[in-house]
Structure 1
């Protein structure tokens, strides 16, 4: 469910269908610009510029290809596991996790119980956000804690 704060900031309140957060959403190539036109010409300076352009552009293109491959592998695995995750939730009565995202970045999550209870909690969180009460950023604390543990 997409809602806006009184200040106009968009938030999404949804159930998380799988028990983990996608990691590839955190990978980003923002700010990296690959020059479209390679230098051209027949003189030695153009040849040097072409080599420099290749030295700069190939790692960036390689990084973009790696990010796309990792994202596609994760998406394929997600699609393969999704029926089993949904089936386990239905058969074993697993609790649903409700998450709040600012744009597409998760900022808050909480366990909400059954399908019906999670639907009620989604509506409650949406009303809170619309009234200006955005839930605490619980995920920033978790990621900071994980970063500190890895160091």
Structure 2
């Protein structure tokens, strides 16, 4: 559920669908404006090879993150089905923007839904939850 506090900040109050908390952060994007001028001479080829060697770990990291994301997409339906079928307890989280600000264990599906609505109304009224997640 997406709500706004009195200051206009967007909050998202949701169930956590997987039993773990996401830890991946978006890398800072940089600009490589100098790469546009590589020519076809031997010095430019050597520079391009060196830059490729430097960039290779980042390319491998991006492939690993993509693989992990696809694996997560494959696991979410099974985790959600298991939670609903076996009545597992849900974790409720409130995110300020996209940063997890508060989380707490909740009951089953119905109880967690009621807690989400209660917390969303409190945020809209200006009663912000105390920060409980790792001081990020």
TM category (shorter chain) comes to: 0.7 to 0.9
State the 1:101 CA deviation: 0.8
Instruction: From the two aligned structures, give the one with the greater helix fraction.
Output: 1
Alignment RMSD: 2.7
Aligned to 1:73: 67
Cα gap change, 1:36/1:9 in structure 2, threshold over 3 Å: closer, same or farther?
Answer: farther
Cα pair 1:34 1:57 within 8 Å, conserved: no
Deviation at 1:36, TM superposition (A): 6.0
Q: Which residue number corresponds to residue 59 of structure 1?
A: 54
Higher RCO by CA contacts (8 Å cutoff, separation 6 or greater)? 2
Candidates 98, 101, 108, aligned match of 1:114: 108
Aligned position for 2:83: 89
Equivalence for 2:33: 35
Distance 1:112 1:31, change over 3 A: same
CA deviation profile, 1:97-116 (whole Å, cap 9, x unmatched): 11111111111111110111
Structure 2: gaps spanning 5 or more residues: none
TM-score by length of 1: 0.73
1:123 to 112, 117, 132: 117
Q: For this pair of structures, how many residues does the alignment match?
A: 136
> In the TM superposition, what is the alpha-carbon distance from 1:68 to its structure 2 partner?
2.5
Deviation at 1:40, TM superposition (A): 4.4
Contact kept, 8 Å, 2:84 with 2:109, in 1: the verdict is no
Report the TM-score when normalising by structure 2: 0.80
Structure 1 segments (4+ residues) deviating >4 Å: 40-44, 53-58
